[in-house]
Structure 1
Amino acid sequence: MPKASPSRALRHKPPADNLHRRNRYHHAPPDFDQLGRQYPEFAQCLTKVPSRRPTLDFRDPTKVRMLARALLKADFDLDVQIPAQSLCPMIPGRLDYIHCIEDLMGLCDPLQQGQVPVRGLDIGTGASCIYPLLACRLHSSWHFLATDTHLPSVDVARVNVARNGLSDRIAVTHSHDPNVKLPLDMTTASANRPRFDFCMCNPPYYRDEIEMADLQNAKPNLPPTTLPGQPHELMTQGGEQQFVTGLIDESWQARGVITWYTSLIGRSTTLAPLTQYLTALGMTNYAIAELCPSRTRRWVLIWTFGLQRIVSKVGEL
């Protein structure tokens, strides 16, 4: 078999309007006034001033959670419970990661955008199970295995999946070992194709509370936020760099199981060490896609052991 030629890391910068061209909010931002008319509970969260559009205080976690629930119901017919103590997904940004995966899958095999089933693994799905739920609403042929190490979050995620009639396409499992990212005991590859077409992950960004506070204080131009999150969602030993390094190590062992490995990256300083580590291991078929759904930038690190080439359209926002 021919070897895949090495590729350089590709950096794709979003345009001034930030969102992916297929993101439903790219040309039509959420209309708070209309959402308020549809959902009275959300209307109570809005600040209304005569002759001006209603506004939302994004520093209030309860109001942000109500916005997420209203958008999911209005735009995707998803009824999702988001526990008060859990991270609240920002829907436009979550969509951008999914659209990046779509680009990747379209390049891998155009048929997979149609009737051929696409199988994804969501590592650390959280209580909202947001990526599998959104992706399965967007694509009727997609299926997911969603994992999490936090059993209470797994229980809520299963309820969210069942409530939305997607239990036949999304399986939520509890990962007992926090040091294991890939459920290798469940992932034997067939002779014809890998078990999963891709994996996705939104890892904890910070090493500890001190680093989290220091980094948040270093962003004076960003609006203050009091959004909650449980410790396992926000912090991990060694921060996101160590977490994704572990995922890279496991991917080497599971290289016949998943076609495309991806992970969201929250800090630009993490990118160079991770790409250097990939190169040191001889894994040169990788790319970086940049997401910027708001004033906070994120990146998606992508790598594969297959012959498929990562070309410029991947992550082209």
Structure 2
Amino acid sequence: MTAQKPGLHPRNRHRSRYDMNALCQSHPELQHYIVQTPAGEPSVNFADPLAVKALNKALLAHYYGVAQWDIPDGFLCPPVPGRADYVHHLADLLAEDRDGVLPESATVLDIGTGANLIYPLIGVAEYGWRFTGSEIGSEAFSSAQAIINGNAGLTRAIRLRRQKEASAIFSGIIHKNEFYDATMCNPPFHDSADAARAGSERKRRNLGQAEDGALNFGGQQHELWCEGGEVAFIEKMIEESPQFGRQVKWFTTLVSRGDNLPPLYRALTRVGAVKVVKKEMAQGQKQSRFIGWTFMDDAKRRK
């Protein structure tokens, strides 16, 4: 019996321990990074950024049919199981407006899709959704476009738009007469470069790395921090959202810390959100959640 990882969504393909042999067959390069745990089982050194990247390549190839995937050095290398959880819980939220039927033709906007393009890749593979990914950084934009171009079928399912206005989130991305079933976002967490560095050091220490070692998951400035941190970023998203309330069924975003929720709920009250939901997620000991809000009543969302 394969051990189950507690907390992950029932449809998450990563609920069981990784089958390293199968992953190595899908991505042979992973074999170079296999180490033995004290219990004698194959694993990878999660403190080695090259090993983490190779594992991601294998997971994306094996489970999601992504043959070509890479990110530039220093960019965020996302933990795939947790990212998949957001997609599955979002599918459940959309299903609530469809009498419990999972949507097979949803259109989703991924705010800050990143060099890794992780949410569109999982959403296309699992549900056949169509994605628009917004990105402000030129190098991240080019990396995401290279992933799309390198995999058959993705050019029909995923399009990218460059956000040219640093202070805007939806403006300039959602065009007139466009409609989205949902937006999703993994907002920058820290409120300064110093806070981001301190967080990186904590992560390194937890992984047993030296102080000057490379951060296992990397991350560029706009991926990790913004003025005012996560709350300020999401509040900006909330403030902008009413302008597009007739074009988006559900606005959603990850919220990393539960104590960030009260000011966000107050902001949602101020803008007149018709309905607000919170979906709790967990991966082992790590707790996370996303919030969703809409300006449409039940009847309009069911159309």
Measured after TM superposition, the shift of residue 111 of structure 1 is: 9.0
Question: Which deviates more from structure 2 when the two are superposed, residues 265-274 or residues 282-291?
Answer: 282-291
Residue 157 in 1 paired to residue 123 in 2?
no
Q: In 2, are the aligned partners of 1:207 and 1:239 still within 8 Å (CA)?
A: yes
| Alignment CA distance shift 1:220-1:284 (3 Å) | farther
Residue 144 in 1 paired to residue 131 in 2?
yes
Residue 269 in 1 paired to residue 269 in 2?
no
Cα offsets for 1:110-148 (capped at 9, x unmatched)? 597465x311100000011111111111123x1111110
Name the residue aligned to 1:302. 292
Name the residue aligned to 2:110. 122
SS in 2 for 1:126: coil
Name the residue aligned to 2:186. 202
The 2-side partners of 1:290 and 1:43 are apart by 35
The 1-side partners of 2:203 and 2:149 are apart by 39
Q: In 1, are the aligned partners of 2:275 and 2:294 still within 8 Å (CA)?
A: yes
Cα offsets for 1:69-93 (capped at 9, x unmatched)? 1110011110211222110011111
Name the residue aligned to 2:57. 69
Question: What is the aligned counterpart of 1:231 among 199, 221, 232?
Answer: 221
| Alignment CA distance shift 1:153-1:216 (3 Å) | closer
Question: Which deviates more from structure 2 when the two are superposed, residues 205-214 or residues 164-173?
Answer: 205-214
Residue 19 in 1 paired to residue 3 in 2?
no
Question: Which deviates more from structure 2 when the two are superposed, residues 62-71 or residues 261-270?
Answer: 261-270
SS in 2 for 1:292: strand
Q: In 1, are the aligned partners of 2:47 and 2:204 still within 8 Å (CA)?
A: no
Cα offsets for 1:183-220 (capped at 9, x unmatched)? 4564324xxxx611100001110011332345567789
| Alignment CA distance shift 1:63-1:259 (3 Å) | same
Question: Which deviates more from structure 2 when the two are superposed, residues 86-95 or residues 175-184?
Answer: 175-184
| Alignment CA distance shift 1:187-1:224 (3 Å) | farther
Residue 105 in 1 paired to residue 94 in 2?
yes
Flag structure 2 segments of 5+ consecutive residues without an equivalent.
210-214
The 1-side partners of 2:268 and 2:13 are apart by 34
Letter of the 1:238 partner, please give it: G
Measured after TM superposition, the shift of residue 239 of structure 1 is: 0.6
Q: In 1, are the aligned partners of 2:242 and 2:271 still within 8 Å (CA)?
A: no
Measured after TM superposition, the shift of residue 223 of structure 1 is: 4.1
| Alignment CA distance shift 1:71-1:199 (3 Å) | same
Name the residue aligned to 2:34. 46
Measured after TM superposition, the shift of residue 65 of structure 1 is: 0.9
* Higher normalized contact order (CA 8 Å, seq sep 6+, divided by chain length): 1
Name the residue aligned to 1:313. none
Name the residue aligned to 1:174. 162
The 2-side partners of 1:150 and 1:259 are apart by 27
| Alignment CA distance shift 1:209-1:184 (3 Å) | closer
Aligned residues: 288
Compute the TM-score of the two structures, normalised by the length of structure 1: 0.83
Name the residue aligned to 1:57. 45
Flag structure 1 segments of 5+ consecutive residues without an equivalent.
1-14, 310-317
The 2-side partners of 1:266 and 1:185 are apart by 25
Letter of the 1:170 partner, please give it: I
Q: In 1, are the aligned partners of 2:272 and 2:295 still within 8 Å (CA)?
A: no
1:281-300 paired onto structure 2 within 5 Å = 281-283=271-273, 285-300=275-290
Letter of the 1:52 partner, please give it: G
| Alignment CA distance shift 1:255-1:38 (3 Å) | closer
Structure with greater helix percent: 2
Name the residue aligned to 1:211. 195
Q: In 2, are the aligned partners of 1:46 and 1:55 still within 8 Å (CA)?
A: yes
The 1-side partners of 2:135 and 2:195 are apart by 24
Name the residue aligned to 2:76. 87
Q: In 1, are the aligned partners of 2:64 and 2:121 still within 8 Å (CA)?
A: no
The 1-side partners of 2:31 and 2:172 are apart by 46
Compute the TM-score of the two structures, normalised by the length of structure 2: 0.86
| Alignment CA distance shift 1:156-1:274 (3 Å) | same
